[in-house]
């Protein structure tokens, strides 16, 4: 797999981007991500309705993440053998069914089972969708294409969660799950339409006959494993802020939930802007891994200031924006590098990427909770900086090819 790319071709020589497929995948990614994170505003209501403690309801995120990671690997391998389209269309439909089960669950056990299954259905889609989009574009377009797809995740934080809270005020958490289920069905229709329109254009694409047996030795090469470790480090850095930033602001400045809305919107905007610009930068840089490393190191440096210097609300909001911007800026370059593998194993590798990302989220929750209990938020900055250095070293080490 190429780590340092050759000189990029001129823009005029690049083929047109498959914008319709990218838009459909972005919509589906929004729905997939919304299936989990839109639960956040309703934890208290769910605990009261199901007659359990708040901590038990919060554990649903962990169950979802584990199922998501395991399913991502399985679907990645399966898509390399069976084709992408069954997963791209079937996963959102299955997700809609599981979310309907969540909405109708009458006990915590029922809701937990359906929520775990919904995480698995989400995992069936994520890695395969990245592999499909990456396979539709040339290498020097992958940063932008994958950046736009990942923007669907960022939009969930900026738009999806506030919209879910607003809708939930009228229909409750059960109604919100049904709304997301409907969105998942719409996204399945969009994926069906867009993959069908290009299914006959290239071998190994969605809907075509399976290609050669995947070369698993290539999928589990030393380079891929090293970059997957970088994914884990980057996702922990991202997750430390994504999971704990709201609590950090509430405890540090004693502000109200209403006053927290604007800081969270600015925080999410940094993520969206970084993802989009990161895709542009990743396609123009001669060395994607250097681009990833520098952006991740910048996020680690900002993290030291964010969690170590609380001058005012506006200062922390500004550094929160910068932290998310640099972390998101690094990711498209890393994803484009991981996608630069033979088409026969691209689904497997991108599925492993989603599995590594899930491990990073779990690591962020576990490490963040331990640091918060032992040191406090002051320990978050050094932790983020160390992880950024580890991720950068992993990305830059090893052979160039």
Locate the domains of the chain by residue range.
14-396
The model's confidence at residue 201, banded by pLDDT at 50, 70 and 90, is very low
- Residue 292 or residue 6, greater confidence: 292
pLDDT at 202: 39
SS3 4: strand
Taking only Cα atoms into account, the Rg of the chain, rounded to an integer number of angstroms, comes to: 20
> Does 252 score more than 90 pLDDT?
no
Instruction: Give me the phi and psi of 4, to 5 degrees please.
Output: -105, 120
Give CATH for domain 14-396.
Answer: 1.20.1250.20
Look up the pTM and report it. 0.78
pLDDT at 292: 93
Please report where in the chains the tokens 């033979």 appear, as a residue. 342
SS3 292: helix
What is the rounded average pLDDT of the residues 304-328?
Answer: 93
The model's confidence at residue 256, banded by pLDDT at 50, 70 and 90, is confident
> Does 262 score more than 50 pLDDT?
yes
pLDDT at 323: 95
pLDDT at 214: 45
Residues with Cβ within 8 Å of residue 50, at least 6 apart in sequence: 57, 105, 107, 108, 111
Least confident among 78-92, 215-229, 292-306, 339-353: 215-229
Please report where in the chains the tokens 């584990």 appear, as a residue. 66
Residues with Cβ within 8 Å of residue 374, at least 6 apart in sequence: none
pLDDT at 265: 84
């Amino acid at each position: 797999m190429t780590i340092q790319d050759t000189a990029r071709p001129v823009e005029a020589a690049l083929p047109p981007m498959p914008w319709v497929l990218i838009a459909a995948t972005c919509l589906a990614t929004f729905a997939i991500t919304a299936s989990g994170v839109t639960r956040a505003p309703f934890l208290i209501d769910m605990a009261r309705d199901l007659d359990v403690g708040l901590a038990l309801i919060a554990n649903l995120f962990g169950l979802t993440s584990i199922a998501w990671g395991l399913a991502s690997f399985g679907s990645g391998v399966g898509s390399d053998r069976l084709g992408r389209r069954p997963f791209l269309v079937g996963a959102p439909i299955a997700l809609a069914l599981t979310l309907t089960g969540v909405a109708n669950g009458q006990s915590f056990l029922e809701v937990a089972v359906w929520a775990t299954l919904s995480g698995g259905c989400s995992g069936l889609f994520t890695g395969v969708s990245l592999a499909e989009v990456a396979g539709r574009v040339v290498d020097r377009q992958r940063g932008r294409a994958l950046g736009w797809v990942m923007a669907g995740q960022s939009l969930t934080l900026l738009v999806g969660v506030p919209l879910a809270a607003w809708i939930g005020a009228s229909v409750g958490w059960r109604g919100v799950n049904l709304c997301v289920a409907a969105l998942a069905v719409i996204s399945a229709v969009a994926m069906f339409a867009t993959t069908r329109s290009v299914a006959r254009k290239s071998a190994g694409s969605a809907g075509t006959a399976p290609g050669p047996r995947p070369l698993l030795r290539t999928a589990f090469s030393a380079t891929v494993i090293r970059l997957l470790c970088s994914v884990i480090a980057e996702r922990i850095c991202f997750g430390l802020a994504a999971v704990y930033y709201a609590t950090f602001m509430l405890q540090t400045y004693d502000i109200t939930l209403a006053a927290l809305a604007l800081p969270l919107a600015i925080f999410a905007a940094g993520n969206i802007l970084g993802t989009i610009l990161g895709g542009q930068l990743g396609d123009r840089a001669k060395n994607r891994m250097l681009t990833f490393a520098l952006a991740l190191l910048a996020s680690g440096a900002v993290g030291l200031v964010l969690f170590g210097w609380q001058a005012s609300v506006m200062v922390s909001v500004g550094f929160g924006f910068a932290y998310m911007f640099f972390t998101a800026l690094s990711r498209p370059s890393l994803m484009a590098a991981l996608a630069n593998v033979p088409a026969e194993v691209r689904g497997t590798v991108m599925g492993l990427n989603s599995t590594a990302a899930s491990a990073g989220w779990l690591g962020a929750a576990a490490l963040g909770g331990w640091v918060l209990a032992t040191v406090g938020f002051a320990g978050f900055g050094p932790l983020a900086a160390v992880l950024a250095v580890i991720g950068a070293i992993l990305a830059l080490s090893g052979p160039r090819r």
